[in-house]
Amino acid sequence: MRFASLGSGSDGNGLVVEAAGTCVLIDCGFGVKDTVWRLGRLGLEPSSISAILVTHEHGDHISGVPAFAARYEIPVWATFGTLAEVSIRFEEMTQVYAFDSHDHFAIGALEIMPFAVPHDAREPVQFVVSDGAVRLGVLTDTGCPTPHIAQSLSGVNALVLECNHDLDMLMNGPYPAQLKRRIAGRLGHLSNDASAELVRAMDCSRLQHVIAAHLSEKNNTPELARAALAGALNCAPDWIGIATQEDGFAWREIS
Nearer to Zn ion, 55 or 152 (CB): 55
- Interface ranges with Zn ion (CB under 5 A): 58, 60, 141
Minimum distance of Zn ion from residue 131's CB (angstroms): 26
What phi and psi, each to the nearest 5 degrees, are found at residue 178? -65, -40
Closest CA to 67 of 43, 36, 38, 45: 36
Name the minimum Å distance from CB 9 to Zn ion. 8
CB 164 to Zn ion: min, Å: 9
Residue closer to Zn ion (CB basis): 54 or 69:
54
Nearer to Zn ion, 82 or 130 (CB): 82
Q: How far is the CB of 219 from Zn ion (least distance, A)?
A: 14
Residue 124 C-beta: closest distance to Zn ion, Å: 7
Residue nearest to Zn ion (CB): 58
Q: Which is nearer to Zn ion, 16 or 190 (CB)?
A: 190
Q: Tell which phi-psi region holds residue 73, choosing left (phi > 0), alpha (psi between -120 and 50) or beta.
A: left
CB-wise, 81 or 233, nearer to Zn ion?
Answer: 81
